[in-house]
Amino acid sequence: MPESHSEDDLQKGLIRQMKQFILELGKDFLFIGEEYKMQVGNRDFYIDLLFYHRGLQCLVAFELKKEKFEPEYLGKVNFYLEALDRDVKKKNENPSIGVLLCKDKDSEVVEYALNRSLSPTMVAEYKTQLPDKKLLQQKLHELFENNIETK
């Protein structure tokens, strides 16, 4: 992706490469939709990318940000997770997980922002070039293993 891309460009690029993107995420991910529409009250909201993970039996919401991580982004992700759990999740499914992909992050700011969050959320930097496939699979495996341990 060019350095001066938008969130929409990032999303469209991922959709174009969806098969490869899902393979990079690991097995058991099912694509549900892009710009997944949720209605809360009288307003419409859109989750950038929504997946289902068969092994974890939960929805996985991806929020894409073309900027450096800001703590307020977590509020949006938590809002989406609450809406998914109240209105979309089936009774037999586990609580939804959020993945916030940002262009850059300050790990200390992320730590402070996540410290009181009750929702399972991961903040990750994205690169305009995909990292090594094994490294990406390892990181996602660690995320989901840690999530299972905290339940």
Q: pLDDT digits over 74-84, tens only? A: 889 999 999 99
Instruction: Single out the residue of 54, 63, 58 nearest to residue 34, CA to CA.
Output: 63
β-bridge partners, 52: 30, 59
Q: pLDDT digits over 106-124, tens only? A: 888 888 887 776 666 666 6
The per-residue pLDDT for 100 is 87
Q: How are strands ordered across the β-sheet holding 29-40?
A: 29-40, 43-53, 58-64, 97-102, 121-125
**Cα–Cα distance, 87 to 64 (Å, whole number):** 22
The per-residue pLDDT for 52 is 93
24 or 10: which leads in pLDDT: 10
The per-residue pLDDT for 18 is 66
Does the model's pTM come out above 0.85?
Answer: no
Q: pLDDT digits over 40-83, tens only? A: 999 999 999 999 999 889 999 999 888 888 889 988 999 999 99
Percent share of the chain, pLDDT over 70: 71
Under DSSP, the state recorded for 66 is: S
The enclosing H or E element of 33 equals strand 29-40
